[in-house]
């Protein structure tokens, strides 16, 4: 979507990104490295592209091969297992190999602008590592925040003074190139970003049923923020600047933020593994949906992600496509792509 908004008509992008699907697709805690895939294509000594034919080695999973199959861009794997130093090395190799003039560092939601002690912070480690790595390279890096507050971690009001004014606002036209992907991809923040770019407004409930996310006219905006300012503010990013392993960076997160998001994923994976799966029976599923919607309405909720619906109805992540197909077949009028609309009672 960002590529369509900023670089429409130019050559496809190279997107360096984590394979870290947060137990939604991948039931193994933490991010995947090159050793967790078959069929990767080398770009440089330490950078591997994830083509459409690549596969995650079971029991791991990844959305990257399917993204590569459905979008024109090249997806390459951020490998955090060698810490910020290793990611910086990847960026330096790409800069030399591709003769890059600049890099866009994109964060959806804005938690990359955290200090590290905010009580609503959930996933600081991935952002801190990439921020630290980008501050180690000589190539100019532009830090962009899309959809302030949409990750459900730092509220938009908190972020307002930590970033500059909007540089653009995404529209339905910008969403269109990624429209097919949004039908299946599990990213809740991307779903809400796309929904608001298409005009959806309200209050959205996401996985975990924590603080609901407001969907406003500011939600589809993209802002530029100061890279050095972000590093100076982000205690975890400063701490991991010289790390050479993921384990070292994870320990800093425990010390500075009070937790490790990978520890949280380990605990959640154990709970998921011991929880029996409900059979997706249409009648009982719809009864549970009606109860969930009634309770959500009482909380002022107008929308939910499909990840939240799957969770609330007691299903597992692998049943999400079947749930989505069932609901779209029975109540298509409630689908405000890619979100589920919870109408007010008549």
Q: Which two tokens stand for residue 276?
A: 């029996």
Strand partners, 107: 145
286 and 166 within one domain: no
User: How many independent structural domains does the chain possess?
Assistant: 2
Secondary structure letter of residue 25 according to DSSP: S
Secondary structure letter of residue 171 according to DSSP: -
Q: Which of 207, 181, 183, 201 is nearest to 328 (CA)?
A: 183
156 and 14 within one domain: yes
What confidence score (pLDDT) does residue 314 get?
87
226 and 303 within one domain: no
51 and 136 within one domain: yes
What confidence score (pLDDT) does residue 316 get?
79
Strand spans (E) along 1-73: 14-17, 37-38, 41-42, 48-49, 55-56
What confidence score (pLDDT) does residue 22 get?
78
Strand bridging mode 41-42 / 55-56: unpaired
75 and 136 within one domain: yes
Successive 10-residue mean pLDDT values, the chain, 346 residues:
90 94 82 97 98 95 96 97 98 96 95 93 95 97 97 92 95 95 94 98 89 95 97 98 98 95 90 66 93 96 95 86 94 96 85
How far apart CA 293 and CA 276 sit, in angstroms, is 23
Residue 265 covered by a domain: no
Residue 205 covered by a domain: no
What confidence score (pLDDT) does residue 21 get?
87
How far apart CA 144 and CA 10 sit, in angstroms, is 19
Residue 256 covered by a domain: no
What confidence score (pLDDT) does residue 275 get?
57
Residue 210 covered by a domain: no
DSSP helix/strand/coil, 303: strand
228 and 96 within one domain: yes
Q: Which of 77, 66, 147, 49 is nearest to 106 (CA)?
A: 147
How far apart CA 346 and CA 344 sit, in angstroms, is 6
Residue entry with tokens 């959205």: 204
Q: Is the pTM of this model over 0.85?
A: yes
288 and 164 within one domain: no
DSSP helix/strand/coil, 256: helix
Residue 226 covered by a domain: yes
What confidence score (pLDDT) does residue 211 get?
82
291 and 155 within one domain: no
Residue 183 covered by a domain: no
93 and 11 within one domain: yes
Residue 331 covered by a domain: yes
What confidence score (pLDDT) does residue 273 get?
65
| Ramachandran assignment for 284, one of left (phi > 0), alpha (psi -120 to 50 degrees), beta (any other) | alpha
What confidence score (pLDDT) does residue 239 get?
98
What confidence score (pLDDT) does residue 315 get?
87
332 and 231 within one domain: no
- Which of 187, 208, 239 delimits the end of a domain? 239
Q: Which of 160, 161, 145 is nearest to 222 (CA)?
A: 145
How far apart CA 23 and CA 188 sit, in angstroms, is 13
117 and 43 within one domain: yes
Residue 274 covered by a domain: no
What confidence score (pLDDT) does residue 110 get?
96
How far apart CA 151 and CA 213 sit, in angstroms, is 8
| Burial state string for 286-325 with b = 16 or more CB within 10 A and e = fewer than 16 | eebbeebbeebeeeebbbbbbbbbbbbbebbbebbeebbe
135 and 60 within one domain: yes
> Alpha carbon of 136 to those of 33, 71, 142, 243: distances in Å?
21, 30, 14, 12
Q: Which two tokens stand for residue 118?
A: 């905010």
What confidence score (pLDDT) does residue 346 get?
52
Which domain range does residue 336 map to? Answer: 282-341
């Amino acid at each position: 979507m960002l590529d369509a908004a900023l670089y429409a008509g130019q050559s496809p992008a190279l997107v360096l990104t984590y394979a870290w699907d947060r137990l939604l697709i991948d039931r193994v805690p933490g991010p995947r490295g090159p050793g967790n895939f078959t069929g990767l294509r080398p770009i440089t000594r330490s950078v591997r592209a994830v083509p459409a034919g690549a596969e995650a080695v079971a029991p791991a999973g990844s959305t990257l091969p399917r993204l590569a199959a459905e979008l024109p861009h090249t997806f390459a794997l951020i490998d955090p297992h060698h810490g910020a130093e290793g990611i910086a090395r990847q960026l330096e190799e790409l800069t030399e190999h591709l003769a890059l003039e600049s890099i866009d560092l994109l964060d959806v939601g804005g938690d990359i602008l955290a200090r590290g002690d905010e009580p609503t912070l959930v996933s600081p480690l991935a952002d801190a590592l990439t921020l630290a790595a980008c501050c180690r390279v000589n190539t100019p890096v532009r830090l962009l925040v899309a959809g302030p507050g949409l990750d459900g971690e730092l509220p938009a009001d908190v972020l307002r003074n930590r970033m500059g004014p909007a540089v653009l606002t995404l529209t339905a036209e910008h969403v269109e190139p990624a429209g097919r992907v949004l039908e299946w991809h599990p990213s809740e923040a991307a779903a809400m970003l796309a929904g608001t770019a298409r005009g959806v407004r309200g209050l959205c409930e996401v996985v975990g049923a924590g603080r609901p996310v407001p969907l406003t006219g500011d939600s589809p905006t993209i802002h530029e923020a100061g890279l050095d300012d972000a590093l100076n503010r982000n205690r975890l990013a400063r701490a991991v600047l010289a790390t050479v392993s993921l384990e070292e960076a994870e320990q800093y997160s425990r010390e500075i933020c009070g937790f490790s998001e990978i520890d949280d994923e380990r605990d959640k994976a154990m709970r998921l593994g011991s929880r029996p799966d409900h059979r997706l029976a249409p009648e009982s599923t719809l009864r549970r949906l009606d109860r969930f919607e009634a309770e959500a309405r009482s909380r002022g909720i107008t929308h939910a992600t499909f990840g939240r619906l799957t969770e609330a109805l007691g299903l597992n992540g692998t049943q999400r496509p079947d749930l989505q197909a069932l609901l779209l077949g029975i109540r298509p009028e409630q689908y405000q792509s890619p979100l589920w609309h919870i109408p007010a009672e008549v």
